[in-house]
Amino acid sequence: MDKIVVLDFGSQYSHLICRRIRDFSVYAELVPFSISFEELKNLNPKGIIFSGGPSSVYNPDAPIPDEKIFDLGLPLLGICYGHQLIVNKYGGKVKRANKEYGSSLLTIENDKDLLNGIGESVRAWMSHGDEAEEIPPGFKIIGHTESARAAAIASDEKPIFGIQFHPEVVHTEQGNEILKNFVLKVCKAKQDWTMAEFIKNEVEKISKIEGNVLCGVSGGIDSTVAALLIHKAIGNRLKCVFVNNGLLRQDEENEIEDIFKNNFKLNFSGVDASNNFLSKLKGVEDPEQKRKIVGEQFISVFTDFAEQNGPFKWLAQGTLYPDVIESGVSKGPASVIKSHHNVGGLPEWLDLEILEPLKELYKDEVREIAKILGVPEKLFMRHPFPGPGLAVRIIGEITPEKLKICKLASKIVEDELIEAKIYENVWQAYAAVGDDKAVGVVGDERKYGNIVMIRVVDSIDAMTADWTRLPHGLLEKMSNRITNEIENVTWVTYSISSKPPATIEPQ
């Protein structure tokens, strides 16, 4: 199939570029900027995109791609740092400028090719500290902002474009249309990337593996879809195991067992390891350490299970693209944001091979596969839940009291969203608790109790998210229930931070 290759120079948005392009039913693949000319040529792309990144092209240690890549004759689009690379490569000049972060008005000077049909002006998202002082010979300016004269440039003779802004983020108006112009009109890529085709190819690939597979299922959509794909490929050579780590939502262990036993013809077992997890986490406050401990404990349980019920050669997981990039083990040079228990949290002593059929997919793509595979809507529409569970929603040490508060408060938040018929319209909703306390008045008496934070966000793929503007009456109802029904809670707050700069989970 046709593909667009994105060279990753370390931008937090690199995967978003791929994600947006896949929306056009065109396959996009992220590769490190250091990929060799031969490796890139063998991928046979229809076009190349240079991502943004934190570096400056004039620095001695700036990441530079193989020079031969420029000679492939393929359409090329540079975004932010990628734009500056093109300017520098073809004889222009890049200089240090005042940092520009946020929305700017992009005025379009030439509406052909890349900016075709965009209009006279749009709001564009800027995130840079360098800019093109002089554009290269043989290039023209096709768009500018008040602070960036060469915010968009194009070669007069070749299909090469550079843009200083980020079309991949939702904050850029018609950013998808700009990317679509490059992919479909400039690169002329065929729209042949579909989830039905992915299922076919992945099942064929998995069917060729040898040995039995142990799949950890959490009850979430990712691990469930991974299990169903693997089962479709190898049948009874798959064994699914659900681990109760003591960090689940209220009554979740019973719900998950009912869902799997009543809806899927999978070989399913449950293991209660809650005491082990909670004892290992006792006294631990650092979030990264929590994630590592949870990861190691999961693997320990899986390993013990494999020894008693094996032999198994593979451990399967529902790892997704965002998990990989945030854990710092993606193909590019992005920094670690937080280790995911099933990626960055895997211990070195693991003696099972890892099978991750979904690691190149985003959440919305997984949900599309779930529809095709006939996953029940009740499971299909459940909000994402972090692998380390409430360990990352309890700030500081995990104590029995904070665990109880977190479970009950989150249940109230979800129940009220369901009652208001809003639950299915938001991406994720929960309550978190930490060590902060505040004075309240309960029964005419002063009480010093916990502060609970409610977090509700809207998103498409978890790579970016915005806080949900809930009706004030609904927030009031949640707050009243939490303070009235949960002992030792005196205050309730609502998080209004988007991602970025925040993350969806507090830890």
Rounded to whole angstroms, the Cα distance separating 352 from 216 reads 13
Q: Is the CA virtual torsion 69, 74, 78, 83 positive or negative?
A: positive
Per DSSP, what are the bridge partners of residue 101?
127
Q: What is the DSSP annotation of 427-442?
A: SEEEEEEEEEEEEEEE
| In contact, 321 and 218? CB cutoff 8 Å | no
166 included as an active-site residue: yes
Rounded to whole angstroms, the Cα distance separating 132 from 139 reads 12
Place of tokens 């994600």: 19
Catalytic residue among 100, 131, 168, 356: 168
Half-sphere exposure in the Cβ direction for 503 (13 Å, CA)? 15
Burial class of residue 123, CB neighbours in 10 A (0-12, 13-18, 19+) = middle
| In contact, 76 and 48? CB cutoff 8 Å | yes
Catalytic residue among 144, 166, 341, 383: 166
168 included as an active-site residue: yes
Rounded to whole angstroms, the Cα distance separating 375 from 486 reads 35
Rounded to whole angstroms, the Cα distance separating 465 from 502 reads 9
Alpha helices in 282-399 (DSSP H): 287-309, 321-326, 363-372, 377-380
Degrees, nearest 5: CA angle 487-385-338: 105
Alpha helices in 143-189 (DSSP H): 175-180
Q: Which H or E run contains 37?
A: helix 37-43
Q: For 469, phi and psi rounded to 5 degrees?
A: -85, 85
Residues that are catalytic = 80, 166, 168
